[in-house]
Chains A and B, each alone.
Chain A
Amino acid sequence: MPRSYSGKEILNFLKKTSLMSAAFVRDDDKPLSTILLFAIDDDFTLYFATLKESYKAKALEENNNISISVWSQKEMLVQANGIVEQETDAERAEIIVDKLADSAVELDDFWPPVLQIKGHEYAVYKVKFNWLHALDLTSTNLVEKNSLFTEVDLK
């Protein structure tokens, strides 16, 4: 049977996983999904960055909702929704960029290839989740009638 997780186990999984699928609402109300590097703190505050002129940055100016999935084959799936806030304080933004670099450093073939990104103007964001759950992917014995997800109380 799939097992449930503690918040700490889910956090540990998120900390060792550097890339997430993230979905936004574009300024024309159409969906936009992408892959992003992320870092996460012990209180489940998540961080990411993108170029200031990117579609993601423009979408977030109009709608600050985000939905993410983090997944590892035969291990765990985490899904969460939250609210995005841009970090405008330069010192705090630099600390976040450092966390993101820490997260990227273990990736052998880091993608996107940072050397090929033109422009230096990053927008740095933090996410406060309002909902998060996790699914055990180690079990092959799935019971579809019952929820297999571990809900995490973020309050």
Chain B
Amino acid sequence: MKNKILLVEDDLFLGKLLKKKLEISGFDVSFLKDGEDALSLAKKEDFGAVVLDLMMPKKDGFKVLEELRADEKTKDLPIIVVSALNSEEDKERVNKLGANKYFVKSDSQLAEIIDYLKKI
């Protein structure tokens, strides 16, 4: 279960690339493009961690994070936010909602995210 990752990203190319790179690193990845489907799957299946974008259709990452932390099954699940949002306000909000790590897309490399997940 530890190596099972729920990847939630609405950028198709980035999502597919990160999924493939994680799979090469030995992770089992479920890739979904919207928050609503991701929330539903997280409550059904057991994951070792969630990689979560913030700006997404249907249900945004803030709401997904909030609901995951409110659910008994997923309240302790490691959640890594990967987002283009870069304001202190957004970072503070994500922190308060209980994310374990925040990667700002413009300041990060895919390898950094993968390395972080390997250490969880």
Contacts and interface: CB of A to CB of B under 8 A. Distances in A.
Contact of A122 (B12, B20, B106, B110): B12
Interface string A111-124: 00111101010100
Nearest to B53: A120
A105 B21 contact: yes
Interface string A7-49: 0000000000000000000000000000000000000000001
Interface string A89-127: 000001001101110110000100111101010100000
A96 to B, nearest CB: 10
Chain A interface residue number, banded: 10 to 19
B21 A120 contact: no
A115 B20 contact: no
Contacts of B108: 115
A49 B24 CA distance: 23
Contacts of B118: none
A46 B24 CA distance: 25
B109 interface: yes
A116 B106 contact: yes
B109 A113 contact: yes
Interface in B11-48: 11-14, 16-17, 19-21, 24
A102 B20 contact: yes
B10 interface: yes
B29 to A, nearest CB: 12
B82 to A, nearest CB: 8
Q: Looking at chain B's contact residues, is the secondary structure mostly helix, strand, loop, or mixed?
A: helix
Contacts of A122: 12-13
Nearest to B10: A120
Contacts of B73: none
A108 to B, nearest CB: 8
B105 interface: yes
Given A102-B20, A105-B21, A115 B13 contact: no
Interface of B: 10-14, 16-17, 19-21, 24, 82, 84, 105-106, 108-110
Given A113-B109, A115-B109, A120-B12, 12 more contacts: A94-B12, A97-B16, A100-B13, A101-B13, A101-B19, A105-B24, A114-B110, A115-B108, A118-B84, A120-B11, A122-B12, A122-B13
